Amino acid sequence: MSNEEKFSRKSTKNSDSSRAEARIPRTIRFSDSEWEEIGKLGIEQGISSADVVRQTMIAMKNGKFPAWFDAASLALPPAIQTQIEKMYRGMYILATLKRDEMFREGRRKEMDAVSAEARKTQEVIVKNSSKS
């Protein structure tokens, strides 16, 4: 059975007329402490642990988050932020050197095309990040 067939498979067991498609148990591994945190969030929201996971995953797939989702909880530790900043600076230097090399070689049109594509990608990222 292909992955596509597995993911699109419908179950007739435990059919519920209120659902278009019956839910099938899936296995997702969590540590006890992770599952406990999910359970606490579920209790706070008045939903089951499974619903916390389900709602979060479906919302993320759609580029959104549930109303109770706290994006601030995803803040990176300072050491990681420092590493990202160092990598960004290094990539900036490399990109600048490559740009200068392309200009010296008379490849300005190619560089303009690369820059235009990068701007389009950046616009998509900004647009998608503003949706959540």
Residues 85 and 125 in one domain: yes
Residues 66 and 10 in one domain: yes
* Residue range(s) defining the domain that contains residue 61: 3-73
pLDDT of residue 3: 45
pLDDT digits (tens, 9 = 90+) for 21-76: 888 888 888 999 999 999 998 898 899 999 889 888 888 788 777 676 776 666 77
Residues 69 and 100 in one domain: no
Residues 80 and 48 in one domain: no
pLDDT of residue 62: 82
Residues 56 and 87 in one domain: no
- Overall average pLDDT of the 106-125 stretch: 92
Structure token pair of residue 28: 């997702």
Number of domains into which the chain is organized? 2
Q: What would the DSSP string read from start to end of the chain?
A: --HHHHHH----TT--TTSSS----------HHHHHHHHHHHHHHTS-HHHHHHHHHHHHHTT---TT--GGGGPPPHHHHHHHHHHHHHHHHHHHHHHHHHHHTT-HHHHHHHHHHHHHHHHHHHHHHHH-
Residues 48 and 87 in one domain: no
pLDDT of residue 68: 67
Structure token pair of residue 21: 């498609």
Instruction: Name the residue with tokens 């950046």.
Output: 122
Residues 39 and 8 in one domain: yes
Asked which of 73, 93, 114 is the last residue of a domain, the reply is: 73
pTM of structure: 0.39
Residues 67 and 52 in one domain: yes
Asked which of 29, 46, 73 is the last residue of a domain, the reply is: 73
Residues 21 and 66 in one domain: yes
Instruction: Name the residue with tokens 């278009």.
Output: 20
Instruction: Name the residue with tokens 């701007």.
Output: 119
